[in-house]
């Protein structure tokens, strides 16, 4: 993984160099020095890929919960509509 790819992945994950430096126990200047290298260290590549997997899993689980909530809201709205309909019939 190149330094540019590393930065792009951090951006996708909504992380910055401060977060990466803290997680990798490095100084920001150490990470910035990777720009001159052909590839970033394997440990950094492994970390950012792990973060990406966790980010995707987190977003997927939130999406499922949001869908469940929307379905419940739809059901609640259907019940309200049914009640209104019944009221109209009684009048």
Round to whole Å and give the CA distance between 72 and 75: 5
Round to whole Å and give the CA distance between 20 and 28: 8
Instruction: Give the pLDDT score at 59.
Output: 82
* pLDDT tier at 13, thresholds 50, 70, 90: very high
CB 35 within 8 A of CB 69: no
* pLDDT tier at 78, thresholds 50, 70, 90: low
Comparing 73 with 1, the larger pLDDT belongs to 1
CB 39 within 8 A of CB 2: yes
Instruction: Give the pLDDT score at 56.
Output: 87
| In the chain, domain spans | 3-90
Instruction: Give the pLDDT score at 61.
Output: 72
pTM above 0.75, yes or no: no
Does position 2 have pLDDT exceeding 90, yes or no? Answer: yes
Instruction: Give the pLDDT score at 44.
Output: 95
């Amino acid at each position: 993984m190149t330094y540019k790819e590393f930065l792009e992945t951090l951006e996708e994950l909504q992380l910055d160099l401060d977060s990466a430096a803290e997680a990798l126990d490095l100084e920001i200047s150490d990470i910035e020095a990777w720009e001159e290298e052909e590839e970033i260290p394997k440990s950094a590549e492994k970390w950012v890929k792990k973060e990406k997997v966790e980010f995707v899993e987190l977003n997927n689980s939130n999406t499922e919960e949001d869908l469940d909530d929307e379905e419940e809201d739809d059901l609640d709205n259907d019940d309200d509509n049914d009640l209104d309909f019944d009221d109209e019939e009684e009048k």
